Copies of this chain bind each other. A is one copy, B any other.
Amino acid sequence: MANIAKKVSWSGRGDDRGERTPLLNGDEEVKNNRQVPDTLDYDNSENQLFLEEERRMSHMGFRCLEIRRWVICGLIGFLTGLIACMIDIAVEKLAGYKYFAVKQNIEKYTELGGLSISLILWAVLNSAFVMFGAIAVAFVEPIAAGSGIPQIKCFLNGVKIPRVVRLKTLVIKVFGVICSVAGGLAVGKEGPMIHSGAVMAAGVSQGRSTSLKKDFKIFEYFRRDTEKRDFVSAGAAAGVSAAFGAPVGGVLFSLEEGASFWNQLLTWRIFFASMVSTFTLNFFLSIYHGKPGELSSPGLINFGRFDSDSVQYNLYEIPLFIIMGALGEGNVTLHWLLRFSHAVLCLRYIHRPCLQVMEAMLVAAVTATVSFAMIYFSNDCQPLGQDKAEEYPLQLFCADGEYNSMATAFFNTPERSVRSLFHNPPGTYNPVTLGVFTLAYFFLAVWTYGLTVSAGVFIPSLLIGAAWGRLFGILLSFIASTWFCCVNLTGGIVRMTLSLTVIMIEATGNVTYGFPIMLVLMTAKIVGDYFIEGLYDIHIKLQSVPFLHWDAPPTSHWLTAREVMSSPVTCFNRVEKVGRIVDVLSNTSTIHNGFPVVAHTRKICGLILRSQLIVLLKHKVFVERASSRLSQRKLQLKDFRDAYPRFPPIQSIHVSQDERECMMDLTEFMNPTPYTVPQETSLPRVFKLFRALGLRHLVVVDNENRVVGLVTRKDLARYHVGKDGLEELHLAQT
């Protein structure tokens, strides 16, 4: 698998730029043919500069910082809400035009005969929409493909996927998701919202944009990985909140996925961002719908109103829920769904961008065909003008004053289809039609998942779940099955647990189903985990990025830091020759990002990062210069912040032959108190330190405090538990 994985990139496009691995740090490095798998550093480098700044700051100063953090979170929430609002309105408008045109056409040809022309029109319209979206994604920003949730999970975990939080990605993502949803693909707009929120957060909190080449010179204090992660958590939460109208669920999502350390103040800020986000969306949508002030649409998804009286369950149904969760159709379906997705993801690398666009268009056309067939072969007519608002009623072969009820479900965006499946009265659907549809839609969804378009997997899994549920409901006359199949399937696919429960409760606006939802999700998770990993985890594993799970593998007590660490380590002296630093940094065969600084006999006295060295070299902070030109400005924390996070590559820094002979004093810039462990420390202990503190490097010392090795995130992520114990993964290595 690792071999296949190496060829897969996040964007689903790989071999066309043969030398490129998923972990390249921006385009600069492609040119230099350097391949740096990058991780984020969630441990502050507490060097002298940093400490001096912190010590200069008064109590009031910290208060102001705190207020600024709140303001940023508010902004993140507001902007995320606005984006969600924009997506919603754009999709509604575009889909409206599309369905209007197709409806006109169908009505015209129903009597004349030749409905195939309508089908072609529908397919062409779908393909056209999808084409725009796919072109943008495939040619402009491949990282914007998919839902973006695995990428954000990685970011919060500490893996840096290049370009994932750039403004350009956001623009393409938003454009792409509008196109794919309007194009009728089996996708949702919820997943991408989470990514969008995260990008928004990364942008706003840094007070600048690389894509726009604009630096607002604000929020400079927050230009480091630690702070940025906190804001990205808030952004992701705001995204969930806007997508599902579930602010508490959003907070839980962020905490479940990202924050290894639960801090109350941080949680509050994340919560604030979530609240502002759902409120903004709600407010602007209420204006758009012409009922300002009526806060009835808190999220993009809207399951419609579950009336308290219609959602009742009884004690005897609880075992049914559990059985459903455990071995119901959900898990078999799920199993194959995930297996297929896996295969699709693995095969994905054979595609070129133009082929990808064509594939997406093909899928769009097929989706239209399937929906069309569903409607065409259904004979179920309902009288028009019921209070349930059917948006694009199709008469088709029904008598005058009636409409085709199947069309309410499938002549519509997937989200509305879900709602129809939930709320349409029993007997609306023919079991055979429904079965065929579910199967067809199932394959479409899997196929779509691998496409180069921006799209979420939430809605399709809900839709398949709902369709299965309807089927079961027909077979068993089991009232709540629709809802629970949805939950079950979705839970099985995404494997979010606590957060999904809360999201579902918040999205339906009713806690009555809370307990069964939990039961179903828990069983689905436990049973599911036994067979196959969740979709996001499969996705992450395929990328073979250094993703750290919650705990060290249980049987890893055999291993100690000595076995795990990379050794020998390149160290620098406190005062080091510039030539040597340049040589070490330029060495493309061994790319290191952190270097222990040692005194005589390799005694550890600090840790310095590649990025810091690069800034030092760029500003030519050499000992000789400092003494010759006293007027030279002292390097400040600001210089590091200005360069963050895209430090120039070493090749772009010119160091003359004379300068190579100079010396650099690292004392002031290194972290003088890096965390260290002795060689005998067990792997679980090292792991816990990494996970709890968000470390990137951990220095291993002997009992004389001499550096003997360096444990990096990648060293740890290598070990994982297979079917028969500990296995060593081959990570995308450079």
Contact = CB atoms under 8 A, between A and B. Distances in A.
A518 B693 contact: no
A150 B279 CA distance: 34
A262 B270 CA distance: 16
Interface string A233-255: 00000000000000110010001
Given A51-B682, A262-B256, A292 B275 contact: no
B673 A682 contact: yes
Interface string A284-303: 00100000111100100000
Interface in A267-286: 267-268, 271-272, 275, 278-279, 283, 286
A642 to B, nearest CB: 23
A324 B676 CA distance: 51
Contact of A295 (B260, B308, B315, B675): B315
A661 interface: no
Contacts of A62: 554-555
Interface stretch (A346-354, A398-406, A509-517): A509-517
Given A256-B267, A267-B256, A511-B506, A498 B251 contact: yes
Interface string A304-321: 000010000011100000
A271 B252 CA distance: 13
Interface stretch (A626-634, A652-660, A684-692): A684-692
A275 B516 CA distance: 10
Interface of A: 44, 46, 51, 54-55, 57-59, 62, 247-248, 251, 255-256, 259-265, 267-268, 271-272, 275, 278-279, 283, 286, 292-295, 298, 308, 314-316, 497-498, 501-502, 505-506, 509-512, 514-515, 518-519, 522, 525, 550-551, 554-555, 557-558, 599, 603-605, 672-673, 675-678, 680-682, 685, 688-689, 691-693, 701, 703-705, 721, 724-725
Contact of A703 (B268, B599, B692): B599
B555 A264 contact: no
Given A293-B314, A672-B678, A692-B692, 16 more contacts: A51-B682, A54-B557, A58-B725, A248-B505, A248-B514, A260-B262, A264-B497, A268-B522, A271-B518, A275-B519, A294-B314, A506-B511, A599-B703, A672-B680, A673-B677, A703-B705
Copies of this chain = 2
Given A256-B264, A264-B550, A510-B511, A55 B558 contact: yes
A661 to B, nearest CB: 29
A484 to B, nearest CB: 16
Contact of A268 (B271, B316, B497): B497
A315 B298 contact: no
Contacts of A522: 268, 271-272, 275
Given A262-B260, A605-B703, A555 B680 contact: no
Contacts of A675: 675, 677, 689
Nearest to A282: B515
A51 B557 contact: yes
Contacts of A268: 497-498, 522, 525
Given A58-B555, A262-B260, A275 B682 contact: no
A3 B676 CA distance: 40
A290 to B, nearest CB: 14
A296 to B, nearest CB: 10
Contact of A262 (B259, B278, B514): B259
B511 A505 contact: yes
Contact of A59 (B265, B294, B604, B725): B725
Contacts of A293: 314-316
A498 B271 contact: yes
B59 A515 contact: no
A497 B692 contact: no
B278 A515 contact: yes
B554 A59 contact: yes
Nearest to A495: B264
B514 A247 contact: yes
16 contacts: A46-B685, A59-B555, A59-B725, A247-B514, A248-B498, A248-B502, A263-B550, A265-B551, A268-B525, A271-B497, A275-B522, A279-B515, A308-B308, A506-B514, A673-B677, A675-B689
Contacts of A44: 685
Contacts of A509: 510-512
A244 to B, nearest CB: 12
A119 to B, nearest CB: 42
A177 B567 CA distance: 62
Contacts of A506: 511, 514
Nearest to A293: B315
A292 B271 contact: no
Contacts of A701: 705
A678 B701 CA distance: 13
Contact of A673 (B267, B294, B680): B680
A719 to B, nearest CB: 13
Sort A-B residue pairs by CB-CB distance and give the 5 closest, nearest first.
Answer: A293-B315, A62-B554, A692-B692, A54-B557, A673-B681
Given A268-B522, A682-B51, A283 B57 contact: no
A640 to B, nearest CB: 18
A286 B294 CA distance: 38
A51 B286 CA distance: 61
Contacts of A315: 283, 286, 292-295
A303 to B, nearest CB: 12
A549 to B, nearest CB: 9
A501 B271 CA distance: 11
A271 B316 CA distance: 22
Contacts of A271: 497-498, 518, 522
Nearest to A317: B293
A44 B551 CA distance: 14
Contacts of A279: 515
A58 B260 CA distance: 28
A298 B248 CA distance: 21
A265 B55 contact: no
A230 B605 CA distance: 37
A62 B259 CA distance: 26
Contacts of A604: 703
B555 A57 contact: yes
A293 to B, nearest CB: 4
A554 B525 CA distance: 41
Contacts of A314: 293-295
Contacts of A502: 248, 502
A27 to B, nearest CB: 36
Contacts of A704: 603, 704-705
Given A262-B262, A672-B680, A692-B693, A724 B518 contact: no
